[in-house]
Amino acid sequence: GNSVTQMEGPVTLSEEAFLTINCTYTATGYPSLFWYVQYPGEGLQLLLKATKADDKGSNKGFEATYRKETTSFHLEKGSVQVSDSAVYFCALSNSGYALNFGKGTSLLVTP
Amino acid sequence: EAQVTQNPRYLITVTGKKLTVTCSQNMNHEYMSWYRQDPGLGLRQIYYSMNVEVTDKGDVPEGYKVSRKEKRNFPLILESPSPNQTSLYFCASRGGGGAVHTQYFGPGTRLTVL
């Protein structure tokens, strides 16, 4: 079946530090991959997505590249801000409908 | 504004007292689903609906019911809630087509069952 594994948090970084959150997946076929972000007290928002191998999703300074050879979709940002503090979820969709989520990684950025 | 709304946002109840969490979307989406979020487990799908009167079980359907009588609404029903259903619940919707379409999530309902 489908599954997503992402690095456990919490991750604590100083402002302007480089961020990497690892995500690997197991799936049949060619899933679409997503990163969702959940700010404190809010629902999930789509951060970025990639629909085929070697695609790079990007948004708000965050990037992730769909690597089929390593079944990975790592999230990166060159310089984090305090406002990036949130929980980040990696997810995949094979059917076009149900999303399989990782367990989430909590990020805390300190001034 | 395109949105998914859920009510109530917070609910404290007691074991066995039937409750309904409502979900409504204004995007004319065909597909809707319910997830629960638990610490250390991420989000897991409870039920989903491909269209009016078409519903099916997700990964963790036990103890839940849903209905889809109208396209915009997809209520989650707990006939006899138990403490292990204490969780944060999210409703989501998306339009038709392939996996590229974005799912929109509601703000969440935090349920506590005593």
- Tens-place pLDDT, residues B5-29: 999 999 999 999 999 999 999 999 9
As a whole number, mean pLDDT of residues A60-77 equals: 97
Interface test with chain B among A30, A36, A99, A100, by most B beta carbons within 10 Å: A99
Q: Does position B53 have pLDDT exceeding 90, yes or no?
A: yes
What per-residue confidence (pLDDT) applies to A40? 87
Query: Are residues B45 and A45, on separate chains, in Cβ contact within 8 Å?
Result: no
> How much of chain B exceeds pLDDT 90, in percent?
84
- Does residue B79 have a pLDDT over 80? yes
Q: Which residues of A touch B92 (CB under 8 A)?
A: 44, 99
The residue of chain B nearest to residue A5, with distances taken between CA atoms, is: B42
For residue A10, the chain B residue with the least C-alpha distance is: B40
Does residue A8 carry a pLDDT above 90? no
Distances (CA, A) of B52 to A33, B35, B64: 28, 19, 18
Rounded to the nearest 10 degrees, how much is the dihedral formed by the CA atoms of A109, A34, B47, B56?
-170
Q: Any chain B CB within 8 A of the CB of A3?
A: no
Among A44-48, B64-68, B75-79, the least confident range: A44-48
Could you give the CA distance from residue A82 to residue A103 in angstroms, rounded to a whole number?
A: 22
The reply to whether B107 touches chain A by the CB within 8 Å rule is yes
Tell me whether A5 touches chain B (CB under 8 Å): no
Reported residue count of chain B is: 114
Q: How far is CA A67 from CA A7, A96, B108, in A?
A: 17, 19, 32
Cβ distance of A98 and B90 shorter than 8 Å: no
Question: What is the pLDDT at residue B100?
Answer: 61
Rounded to 5 degrees, what angle do the CA atoms A30, A98, A28 make?
A: 25
pLDDT at residue B99 in the model: 54
Which residues contact residue B51 at a Cβ distance below 8 angstroms, ignoring those fewer than 6 apart? B30, B31, B68, B71
Pairs of residues, one from chain A and one from chain B, whose beta carbons lie less than 8 Å apart: 56
**B103 CA to chain A: closest CA distance, Å?**
8
Chosen from A6, A44, A52 to mutate, greatest number of chain B CBs within 10 A: A44
Strand duo B76-78 + B87-94: pairing: unpaired
Interchain pair B40, A32: CB under 8 A: no
Shortest Cα–Cα distance, A99 to chain B (Å)? 8
